[in-house]
Amino acid sequence: MAADNPRNNSRRKPTKRAAARPATRADSHYSKLTRTSTMGSTERRSGTGSGRPETRRSGTRPANGAKRHPKLTRATGASRGGRPITGYKSLSSDAQRRVYGNRAPRRPRTGNTAALLVGLTVIAAFIGGGILFWTHRSVSLTVNGSPEKIRIGTTLEGLYEELAISTKAGNYIAVDGEVIEEEKGYAFSASVDGKALSRRQTNEYRIHGGEHIEFSDGGDRMEKYDTEYRDVQPKLVFEGSWGSVSFVKQWGKAGRLEMRTGKESGRTAEGKWIEEMQDCIVTTKNVEPADGKKLVALTFDDGPASTYTEEYLRILDEHDAKATFFNLSENEEELPELARKVAESGNQICSHTYRHQQLSTLGKEDLLLEINSAHDSILNVAGVDTTIIRPPYGDFNQNCWLLSGGTISASVIWNQDSLDWSLPGSDAIVQNALAGVQSGSVILMHDGGGDRSQDLDALPQIIERLQADGYQLVTLSELMASDPQIPAEVAAGNASMPEGAVWPTEIGEASQTEA
C-alpha cells in the first residue's frame, strides 16, 4: 500500500520534525487561517480536530515546515531586523480583505505623475510670463503736448522724473499762509484730460495709456500742525436797506471749527469746518409778486374798536376784498368777540404788540414781554397763532431784532401811508393811499386809536379804484406768498425758530458760512 502512494515515491527524506508528526492535508497552509491578535501574535487554528487553537508567535514557520502563502502576511507590529512592517503587506489577511477586498491596491505610476508636474510647471511659467509682460508693457500717451511711451502703471511722479520735466515748485508755508521757505513746496501740479487733480489724486494716479497729461508749476505745501476745535456761534446779518417787510431768511446754527497751530512756525489759524456754522440772516425788501400778479395788501392798526371794526369787515365783504388787522392785545382782551369776528371772516390778524410801546426804547426783558404777551393773547382770544409783528411807529431796528431772541419771523411796516391819523379828510386819505401804488404795495390805515369816520368814507373808494385798475386786495400772508424770495413758512405767518437753531447774540458784518 505504501509503495502505491505517490507521496512515498518522493526522494526527499522526511525531516525529523516531519517524522515526529507526519504531515497531513489538514496541516497544509490551505487549511490554516491566520489573524492578528491585539498583542501582535498570530493565532493559527490547527486542522487536526483537536478543538484547541494552536497559538504561534508571529514570524515563525508552520509546525509542519510548509511554506507560507504569498498573500498571507506577518502581523501588524511584527518586525524584521527590528523594523516595523507597514503598508499593505503589514496587514493581516482579514484586514486586507476588509480594506482591499481580494485585490491588492494599485501603486501610483510615478512616470505619469512626473510628466503631469512638468506640464503644469510649463503652463504656470507661460501664464506668469504673460502676466509679467502685460503688467510691464509700454503704453502711449501725451505729456505737455508731446507723444510719449511709458510703462503702464507708472506714477505721475515717476513720469515727471523719467521725462525730466521742469516746473517751478511751490512754497513751504505756515498755517496762516506766511512763507517759511520759498520753492520748497510741491514740485508740480497735474491735470489729466483737462481735469485738474487734487494733491491726493496726483499721488494715487497711475498711467493707463491714451491720456493727455499736463504738468504745471507746483502748489504750496503747508507745515505740519497741531489741531484743536472750538464752537462758533452764529451772528445776526442783515440784507437790504429798505422795504415794507423784514423777515428771517435763514435761521442761525452753531458750528465747530478746526484750529491749527503750526509745529514749526508756532502760528495759529482757522482750518476747516467740522460742523458748518450758519449765520442768521434777516432780509428787508418790498414784496414783489411773481408772474405779473397785481396784488395789494390793506392793513389796519390799533384795533379792534367797537365803533369801526365791524364796519370795516362789512365793507370788505361787500367788495370781495381781504385785509390784515394789526391788533393791540390789550384791546383784544376787552373786545374778544370782535377779534374772533376778524379771524372768522377770512381776514388776517397779526400783532401790534400788547400796549403800543416804542420797542427800540426798551430793554430785552420789556421788549420780550411786549412781543410774547401779544402773541399769547392773540392765540388765546382769537385762536390765531402768529409770529408777524407791526412795531409801533414802524420802529424796529437791528438791536430790536437781536434782543427779540427769535420770537418773531417778520416785521412789517408799509410803503403807502394814507396819513389817516392826521384826519386830512376822506378824499386826501384816498389820494394818499393810491399815490404811486403798485403790485406788492402795503397800505397803512387805522382801526382804533381815534376818530376813524374819515377812513370809513375813504375805504370803499380805495377798494373800487384799485379793483378797477386790476388789483386784487389780499391778506399780508397771501401777498408775501406771491414773492418767491420770501420763505413759505414765513409767509404763512406763524414760523418759529426750528429745533437745533441758535439765535445770535452778536450782529455780524457778513455771512460766515464759508469753510
Tens-digit pLDDT profile for residues 389-445:
999 999 999 999 999 999 999 999 999 999 999 999 999 999 999 999 999 999 999
Instruction: Please say if 420 is a catalytic residue.
Output: no
Contact 40, 60 (CB under 8 A): no
- Would you call 338 helix, strand, or coil by DSSP? helix
Full pLDDT tens readout for the chain, 515 residues: 344 444 444 344 444 444 444 444 444 444 344 443 333 434 444 444 444 444 444 444 444 444 444 444 444 444 444 444 445 455 566 665 665 565 555 555 566 778 788 878 878 777 766 676 666 799 999 999 999 999 999 999 999 999 999 999 999 999 999 999 999 999 999 999 999 999 999 999 999 999 999 999 999 999 999 999 999 999 999 999 899 999 999 999 999 999 999 999 999 999 999 999 999 999 999 999 999 999 999 999 999 999 999 999 999 999 999 999 999 999 999 999 999 999 999 999 999 999 999 999 999 999 999 999 999 999 999 999 999 999 999 999 999 999 999 999 999 999 999 999 999 999 999 999 999 999 999 999 999 999 999 999 999 999 999 999 999 999 999 999 999 999 999 999 999 999 999 999 999 985 444 33
DSSP 206: B
Among residues 352, 356, 375, 446, which one is catalytic? 446
Asked if 244 and 415 count as a contact pair (C-beta separation under 8 A), the reply is yes
Contact 490, 248 (CB under 8 A): yes
Q: How high is the pLDDT of residue 5?
A: 43
Cβ pair 257, 230 in contact under 8 A: yes
Burial class of residue 389 in the structure, from the number of CB atoms within 10 Å of its CB (0-12 exposed, 13-18 middle, 19+ buried): buried
User: Which residue in 295, 347, 309 sits closest to 473, CA to CA?
Assistant: 295
- Dihedral sign for Cα 162, 167, 168, 170, please: negative
Give yes or no: 446 in active site.
yes
Sign, CA dihedral 377-382-384-387, equals negative
> Cα–Cα distance between 212 and 224 in angstroms, integer?
33
The structure's pTM equals 0.66
Strand-pair partners of 84: 79
Amino acid 125: pLDDT: 73
- β-strand partners of 270: 259
6-52 pLDDT, tens digit each: 444 434 444 444 444 444 444 444 434 444 333 343 444 444 444 44
Please enumerate in sequence order all residues whose Cβ is within 8 A of that of 259, keeping only pairs 6 or more positions apart, or say none: 227, 228, 229, 230, 268, 269, 270, 271
Q: Which is the catalytic residue, given 301, 302, 420, 455?
A: 301
CA distance 162 to 290: 63
Q: What is the DSSP letter of 375?
A: H
How far is residue 304 from each of residues 113, 298, 315, 336, 487, measured CA to CA in Å?
Answer: 109, 15, 16, 9, 29
What's the rounded Cα separation, in Å, for the pair 338 and 330? Answer: 13
Rg value, the chain, Cα: 54
Could you give phi then psi for residue 63, rounded to 5 degrees? -65, -30
SS3 214: strand
